[in-house]
Amino acid sequence: MKRLMTCIECPQGCRLEVEADGTRLISVTGYKCKRGQAYARQETEAPSRTLTTSVLTRGLELKMLPVRTSKPIPREKLFAAMEAVKRIVVTSPVKAGSVIAPDFLGLGVDLVACRRLEKA
């Protein structure tokens, strides 16, 4: 089955024409870089997204700390991940890249800080 897809790897937003048999990729055209080709495969086999959100802090200079998953997670896990994020409170100073929750939800990715935050 052929389907049209828009690559979301970068702001160029290449239009991809993807031929797939269920979740098996057969061919892809229309990409301008390797990332587009890889995106078509990933999106066909198992769509995944990087989650970015904010978590509460206590005793730090900002009320919320922006965080992200270190790698994309399965798209259908986004809401479960948001639930888990709401239970986290960060109380120690962090740097960009500091791990907030290792092996987040057992998905093999870490939840990491996106900025430096010092004590208030």
Q: Which positions touch other proteins (CB under 8 A)?
A: 6-11, 13, 49-54, 56, 61-64, 66, 68, 75, 78-79, 82, 96, 114-116
- Nearest approach, Cβ of residue 79 and other proteins (Å): 8
- Nearest approach, Cβ of residue 15 and other proteins (Å): 8
Say which DSSP state 106 is in.
G
- Nearest approach, Cβ of residue 103 and other proteins (Å): 21
Confirm if 104 and 74 have CB atoms less than 8 A apart. no
Return the structure tokens found at 37. Answer: 């080709």
Residue placing its CB nearer to other proteins in the complex, 50 or 92: 50
Residue with tokens 């809401």: 79
Pairing of strands 99-101, 111-113: antiparallel
Confirm if 68 and 98 have CB atoms less than 8 A apart. no
Return the structure tokens found at 33. Answer: 């870089």
List residues bridging with 49 in a β-sheet.
73
Residue placing its CB nearer to other proteins in the complex, 103 or 118: 118
Residue placing its CB nearer to other proteins in the complex, 10 or 26: 10
- Nearest approach, Cβ of residue 66 and other proteins (Å): 4
Residue placing its CB nearer to other proteins in the complex, 26 or 64: 64
